[in-house]
Chain A
């Protein structure tokens, strides 16, 4: 049983090959960390799995459905309805309050404002952010902003959460708090997680680690 799968994915940016036959699969509810050197193709692979980029060759499947052949529009609906995202930084909308940011995926999904905010609020308690609901992103520390981003990534109970260096801008203790919350929240609601990180201590929170090297995925050889 697979929730997410890439099969022999090839993708080049002009002359630059980023993925050269990358294959990986993730079971439902599994938390997988993608590791590897800088420039090896981790982010590109994540973007392919999340239906943001379309590979030149190969296939991407989500919940048994092929997604790389969908139209731009269909993929955007898929992302909105089934995927959550957390990135390294610069992702909160500065004009919105923290709770509006968390509610955003629900609002975009057509839920009424009051209901969306009511869904967003418990996340502040859960992630240790109580009292910060009305702050704007400029008034939050990096760790707080990242927890708000995490709440936003999970609020719509997505089937899959995609995270690219979610702790990359944080010190190690704050980063570990974010990872701890990410893992426990994802487990609590059964969300499948694909996480890109080059830090082994962050990857150690995942159920499984894979390594991308030169655009290919090496499953770890466990002896």
Chain B
């Protein structure tokens, strides 16, 4: 999804995709070229991207990849849909926020939707606590504390969106 999202900006070479991915999303673990091309191959097979133009010469670096309507729709719905409110979402939330900012989408709105999904789940877990035995209460508490941590992260991120936008859009 991340590569597809990067392609939503503009048609790109595999090399540019890898570079941007490594800059923003890899957290010290560069994406192997092999994986970039196998992912692009899968996306092309599924009709989410097409090979736009082949420049003279040979080798994968000659190809520019272009997102299709179907691919763009998938990026759009992935950004808009809140993630299932489960603990430890930092990676996927982070990716969403950065991609949304890169694409000029309303990241704050997405985070608001996510906050609502988190609070709704927290409400359910709290209800479980109010009506269950100690074991279920303890499990619910574990979920609640992690969701609360995610919410802190969401709030802090909202407060920093302008600064973050400046960073990711260069």
Nearest Cβ on chain B to A9's Cβ, whole angstroms: 22
Q: Is B119 among interface residues, defined by CB-CB distance under 8 A?
A: yes
Partner of A220, one of B112, B144, B155: B112
Q: Is B63 among interface residues, defined by CB-CB distance under 8 A?
A: no
Q: Is B72 among interface residues, defined by CB-CB distance under 8 A?
A: no
Interface string of A151-188 (1 = CB under 8 A from B): 00000000000000000000000000000100110000
Nearest Cβ on chain B to A70's Cβ, whole angstroms: 34
Give A220 to B85 CA distance when docked, in angstroms.
Answer: 15
In the complex, which residues 74-106 of chain B have their Cβ closer than 8 Å to any Cβ of chain A? Answer: 81-82
Q: Which residues of A contact B159 (CB under 8 A)?
A: 37
Q: Is B116 among interface residues, defined by CB-CB distance under 8 A?
A: yes
Q: Is B122 within 8 A of A218, CB to CB?
A: no
Q: Is B119 within 8 A of A200, CB to CB?
A: yes
Q: Is A204 within 8 A of B122, CB to CB?
A: yes
Q: Is A205 among interface residues, defined by CB-CB distance under 8 A?
A: yes
Q: Is B115 within 8 A of A201, CB to CB?
A: no
Q: Is A222 among interface residues, defined by CB-CB distance under 8 A?
A: yes
Give A206 to B123 CA distance when docked, in angstroms.
Answer: 8
Partner of B123, one of A180, A204, A218, A223: A204
Give A185 to B41 CA distance when docked, in angstroms.
Answer: 61
In the complex, which residues 194-223 of chain A have their Cβ closer than 8 Å to any Cβ of chain B? Answer: 199-201, 203-206, 209, 211, 218, 220-223
Q: Which residues of B contact A211 (CB under 8 A)?
A: 115
Nearest Cβ on chain B to A200's Cβ, whole angstroms: 5
Could you tell me how many residues of chain B have their Cβ less than 8 Å away from some Cβ of chain A? 23
Q: Which residues of A contact B82 (CB under 8 A)?
A: 223
Q: Is A204 within 8 A of B155, CB to CB?
A: no
In the complex, which residues 132-164 of chain A have their Cβ closer than 8 Å to any Cβ of chain B? Answer: none
Q: Is A221 within 8 A of B113, CB to CB?
A: yes
Residue of A nearest to B81 (CB): A223
Nearest Cβ on chain B to A157's Cβ, whole angstroms: 22
Q: Which residues of B contact A183 (CB under 8 A)?
A: 130
Q: Is B117 among interface residues, defined by CB-CB distance under 8 A?
A: yes
Q: Is A218 within 8 A of B148, CB to CB?
A: no
Residue of A nearest to B151 (CB): A200
Q: Is B50 among interface residues, defined by CB-CB distance under 8 A?
A: no
Q: Is A221 within 8 A of B116, CB to CB?
A: yes
Nearest Cβ on chain B to A122's Cβ, whole angstroms: 22
Q: Give the B-binding residues of A (Cβ under 8 A).
A: 37, 180, 183-184, 199-201, 203-206, 209, 211, 218, 220-223
What are 24 of the A-B contact pairs (CB < 8 Å)? A37-B155, A37-B159, A180-B130, A183-B130, A199-B148, A200-B118, A200-B119, A200-B147, A200-B151, A201-B144, A201-B148, A203-B119, A204-B125, A204-B126, A204-B144, A205-B126, A206-B123, A211-B115, A220-B115, A220-B119, A221-B116, A222-B120, A223-B81, A223-B113
**Can you name 9 extra interface pairs (CB under 8 A) apart from A220-B116, A221-B109?**
A200-B119, A200-B148, A201-B148, A204-B126, A204-B144, A206-B123, A220-B115, A221-B113, A223-B113
CB-CB nearest 7 A-B residue pairs: A204-B122, A204-B126, A220-B116, A200-B151, A204-B123, A200-B148, A222-B116
